C-alpha cells in the first residue's frame, strides 16, 4: 500500500476501529450482513479478510459454561462526552475525544468510540437480547479492549433515547453529537463481567480483542429499539465456535 493509501486506511481505522479495518475498507472490499457480501462470505472478500473464516478466536460467542476466576476489576473512567455521531452504513457510532479510560490490571486503555448491534451479537445461554452496545478501547500497542453491554427492552433509558432521537437516518459523514449524551448512562450499576480472547466482529475479524462482557444487562424502551431497528434490521454477526477458549467470570 502506498503512503496515500496508508493515510486513508489510518483515517478509516481511527473513525471505526471495530467496525472495519482501515486497509480492508480502503481497498474497496464491501461487506454487509446479508446476501453475497454477508457474514458467511467475509472470509473470501479479499485483502485481510481471511481471518473471518480461518481464525480460531472469533467473536461473538455464546456465553455459557463460564468459569469463576480472579480477573481484574474494571476501572471505568469515562469523563468525556461524544464529539460526533455517525451512521457509517453498518451501525450508529459515537466517537469520543481523548480522556476516557479503562483500567484492567496493568493495562490502561483509551475509550475511542461506542456503537450498537441489533439484535445482540453475543448470546447468553443460547439466547440473544434486543440489542448490544460495544465500548471500544485501544492500547498504545494497538490491542483493543471492548466492554460489551447487553440491552433488553423494558424501562426508558434517557441516554439511549437521546441517541436514537438524534442519530442520522442516512449513511454519511460524522456530525456533531448532542452534548447531553453520556456513555455512563449505558452501564448497569454492577461491573461483574465475563472475559475472553476474541476478535473484531466485522471484517477483517482480526483476533486482537480482549472482550469484557458485563453480566448485567441494561433496559431501554422498546420503542427506541424499534427506531434503531428501522435503520438496522439486523447488524449482528452470528456466533462463532468457542474452540479451546475459556469464558472467565468475575
pLDDT at residue 45 greater than cutoff 50: yes
Q: How far is CA 121 from the centre of its chain?
A: 9
Measuring CA to CA, how many Å separate 210 from each of 6, 64, 123? 25, 18, 17
Contact criterion met (CB below 8 Å) for 227 and 207: no
What string of DSSP letters covers 217-236? Answer: -EEEEHHHHHHHHHH-S---
pLDDT tens string 191-228 = 999 999 999 999 999 999 999 999 999 999 999 999 99
pLDDT tens string 126-139 = 999 999 999 999 99
Find the angle CA(205)-CA(64)-CA(144) to the nearest 5 degrees.
Answer: 30
Task: Tell the residue number behind the cell numbers 481505522, with chain if given.
Answer: 13
CATH of domain 48-249: 3.10.200.10
Tell me, what's the pLDDT at 52? 95
Interacting residues of 228 by C-beta distance below 8 A, sequence separation 6+: 92, 116, 118, 131, 164, 167
All three cell numbers of 186, joined, read 449505558
All three cell numbers of 211, joined, read 472482550
- In residues, how long is the chain? 250
What string of DSSP letters covers 55-88? Answer: -SS-S--EE-S-EE--PPPEEEE-----SEEEE-
Tell me, what's the pLDDT at 44? 87
Instruction: With cut-offs at 50, 70 and 90, classify the pLDDT of residue 94.
Output: very high
pLDDT at residue 11 greater than cutoff 80: no
Task: Tell the residue number behind the cell numbers 453491554, with chain if given.
Answer: 149
Tell me, what's the pLDDT at 49? 56
Q: Where are the domains of the chain?
A: 48-249
Instruction: With cut-offs at 50, 70 and 90, classify the pLDDT of residue 48.
Output: low
Task: Tell the residue number behind the cell numbers 441516554, with chain if given.
Answer: 159
pLDDT tens string 51-90 = 999 999 999 999 999 999 999 999 999 999 999 999 999 9
| Bond into 60 cis (ω within 30) | yes
Tell me, what's the pLDDT at 238? 98
Residues labelled as active-site residues: 90
Whether pTM exceeds 0.75: yes
Tell me, what's the pLDDT at 51? 92
pLDDT at residue 21 greater than cutoff 80: no
How far, in Å, CA of 184 to CA of 206, rounded? 27
Nearest CA among 216, 205, 184 for reference residue 21: 205
pLDDT at residue 29 greater than cutoff 80: no
Amino acid at each position: 500500500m502506498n503512503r496515500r493509501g496508508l493515510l486513508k486506511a489510518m483515517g478509516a481505522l481511527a473513525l471505526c476501529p471495530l467496525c472495519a479495518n482501515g486497509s480492508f475498507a480502503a481497498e474497496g472490499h464491501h461487506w454487509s450482513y446479508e446476501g453475497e457480501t454477508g457474514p458467511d462470505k467475509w472470509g473470501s472478500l479479499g485483502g485481510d479478510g481471511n481471518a473471518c473464516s480461518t481464525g480460531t478466536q472469533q467473536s461473538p460467542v455464546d456465553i455459557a459454561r463460564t468459569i469463576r476466576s480472579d480477573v481484574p476489576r474494571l476501572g471505568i473512567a469515562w469523563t468525556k462526552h461524544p464529539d460526533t455521531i455517525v451512521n457509517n452504513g453498518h451501525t450508529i457510532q459515537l466517537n469520543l475525544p481523548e480522556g476516557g479510560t479503562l483500567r484492567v490490571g496493568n493495562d490502561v486503555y483509551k475509550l475511542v468510540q461506542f456503537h450498537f448491534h441489533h439484535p445482540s451479537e453475543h448470546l447468553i445461554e443460547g439466547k440473544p437480547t434486543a440489542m448490544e452496545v460495544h465500548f471500544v478501547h485501544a492500547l498504545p500497542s494497538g490491542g483493543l479492549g471492548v466492554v460489551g453491554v447487553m440491552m433488553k427492552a423494558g424501562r426508558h433509558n434517557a441516554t439511549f433515547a437521546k441517541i436514537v432521537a438524534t442519530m442520522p437516518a442516512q449513511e454519511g459523514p460524522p456530525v456533531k453529537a448532542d452534548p447531553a449524551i453520556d456513555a455512563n448512562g449505558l452501564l448497569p450499576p454492577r461491573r461483574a463481567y465475563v472475559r475472553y480472547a476474541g476478535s473484531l466482529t466485522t471484517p477483517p475479524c482480526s483476533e486482537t480483542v480482549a472482550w469484557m462482557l458485563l453480566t448485567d444487562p441494561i433496559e431501554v424502551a422498546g420503542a427506541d429499539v424499534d427506531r434503531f431497528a428501522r435503520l438496522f434490521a439486523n447488524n449482528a454477526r452470528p456466533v462463532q465456535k468457542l474452540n479451546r477458549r475459556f469464558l472467565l467470570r468475575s
